[in-house]
Amino acid sequence: MPAQDPLRRYADCIAACNACAMECRHCAAACLQEPDVQHMARCIALDFDCAQVCQLAAALMAGGSDHAPALCRVCAQVCQACGDECARHDADHCKQCAEACHRCARECERMAAAA
């Protein structure tokens, strides 16, 4: 029996990672426009970290890498931290980012556990 195509096998997780990376980039850009940018420094830093790890996780899953489950465990941790930080802020862009991050954390945990 041939192995399942990684794009199909991990489609939900790849989609969640890509959506999360996009929301994190948007959030970071919007945070940089806030009146008190210093107050948003941790949020911005986590947004950048999260976007990068999500992109890498999606790429490893799409390529069927044996390292994808391990990276998805890390991705879930980064997404959870970013989502928790974003949830602390009242801005709509932070709230939307928090939702995307928490959704991605759940998908990455599910993917890593199933692998």
First to last CA, the chain: 18
CB 95 within 8 A of CB 87: yes
Report the pLDDT value the prediction gives residue 5, as an integer from 0 to 100.
79
CATH architecture for the domain at 6-114: Up-down Bundle (1.20)
d(CA 57, CA 96): 21
- pLDDT (average), residues 14-33: 98
Report the pLDDT value the prediction gives residue 3, as an integer from 0 to 100.
57
Report the pLDDT value the prediction gives residue 64, as an integer from 0 to 100.
92
CB 76 within 8 A of CB 32: no
Other beta carbons within 10 Å of 2: 4
pLDDT digits (tens, 9 = 90+) for 43-78: 999 999 999 999 999 999 999 999 999 999 999 999
Average pLDDT, the chain: 94
